[in-house]
Amino acid sequence: MKVTVMTADEQILTIDVDPHETVENVKALLEVETNVPLLQQQLLFNGKEMRDSEKLSALGVKDEDLIMMVSGVESRPASNDLALNPDGSAVNPGALQQHLRRDSNLLGQLFQADPELAQAITGNDLNKLQELLRARHRQRSELRRRQAEELALLHADPFDVEAQKKIEAAIRQKGIDENWAAALEYNPEGFARVVMLYVDMEVNGVPLKAFVDSGAQSTIISKSCAERCGLLRLLDDRYKGIAHGVGQSEILGRIHVAPIKIGNIFYPCSFLVLDAPNMEFLFGLDMLRKHQCIIDLKENVLRVGGGEVSVPFLQEKDIPSRFLDEERYPKQASSSGTAVTSGATEKSPVPQAGGQTSGTHGDVTQKPDFEAKVAKLVELGFARETVIQALRLFDGNEEQAAGFLFGG
């Protein structure tokens, strides 16, 4: 039905409302039309004030009826305590709080529609109330802006290129908003932080929190951790190099074998040693494969040796806070080349004569027997590119390349 509203400055508006609409919703509509804040509005019908919780039909409002709207400030000429500032905050937050507390109907509706604001009204923190009032004002302003843009697009020239771009953007944003709303309803856990997988291990008798990462190509240990575990003396610096991932980090060398304890069983393990201060120990895909590990997310355990040992993944409270640093740790660990992020790869350096790290040998591929060596190693199950790289690193030595491929 259509209702005529006359404002205090004798402005006449015609609004289309549902007979069962509440007075509060009518005020919200009038706030958009007149820019008079909802809390400052007072609606009168047949000389009687209309309460926010009442419905138009219950008050006897019918099609083409007249409603008077006066400002809350004008209705209380002796006080400006309930007025709002241009930013939406209250001029006198204490007086506004007491006024809203006395309106039990409005307070009950707020607890259903906006419990955070209702709690601020019933609480004792006026600063929080002011912040929420400003936030709600910004939300209403943004809503009005978007409504105005949508209305402008409806009347835009369909042949205007810029208008078409805005319409396309609006349609796209609507799809994103609907997708977001659906995710909140059907997949709310998707918005929670995912804690990485850690288990308790012992490396050379020293207890560690090991980061389990099936997306990492190799198992890695930091220099400081290797020193703490008494393994730095075994560092083979002939395996120096650079590991590439999201960033890059220096490979200091390789520890060929050391005991790690998972559960109650010891396993042999090899590590790359990296200069990564924010990463301690990463259990990578090479050892996961070697020891036939199963990442069981249903039971939240790591099964080793095909199931002979099961160790639980640590809860967030059991993981050191330095490992949960969302800014530094992933950046450092991923730059290890064994990659916190899936798909990163490691440049595997190989020892050369005299202890030097190999460079590129551009003439190796030109040797007449090079393709024969490649074919022979490919037959053993290795990828062609990996075979070529290994032969280049060992200057075409087939036996050394094969040993590297089997050992890596």
pLDDT in tens, 338-348: 433 333 334 44
- DSSP H helical segments within 187-250, as ranges? 223-228
**Catalytic annotation, pick one of 160, 213, 296, 363:** 213
One domain for residues 248 and 221: yes
Q: Which of 117-121, 357-361, 372-376 is predicted with the least confidence, judged by mean pLDDT? A: 357-361
Q: Domain count of the chain?
A: 4
86, 134: one domain: yes
Please state, for a pLDDT cut of 70, what percent of the chain lies above it. Answer: 83
- 213 counts as catalytic: yes
Task: Say yes or no to pLDDT of 303 above 90.
Answer: yes
3-state DSSP assignment of residue 146:
helix
Residue 348 falls within a domain, yes or no? no
Residue 57: which of 68, 45, 69 has the closest Cα? Answer: 45
User: Are the C-beta atoms of residues 393 and 333 closer than 8 Å to each other?
Assistant: no
Whether residue 128 is found in the same domain as residue 8 = yes
The pLDDT of residue 296 is: 92
Q: How confident is the model at residue 234 (pLDDT cuts 50, 70, 90)?
A: very high
On whether both 301 and 221 belong to a single domain, the answer is yes
Same domain membership, residue 130 and residue 6: yes
CA distance 334 to 341: 6
In this prediction, residue 364 carries a pLDDT of 65
Query: Strands, DSSP E only, in 189-234?
Result: 198-203, 206-212, 220-222
Q: Is 329 domain-assigned?
A: yes
Q: Which residue has the higher pLDDT, 81 or 117?
A: 117
Parent domain of 169:
156-191
Residues 328 and 266 in one domain: yes
Average pLDDT over residues 366-370: 75
> Per-residue pLDDT for 302 more than 90?
yes
Q: What is the mean pLDDT of residues 358-384?
A: 69
Contact (Cβ atoms closer than 8 angstroms) between residue 244 and residue 215: no
Query: Where is average pLDDT lowest: 50-54, 78-82, 176-180, 371-375?
Result: 78-82
Burial (CB < 10 A; 0-12, 13-18, 19+), residue 375, is exposed
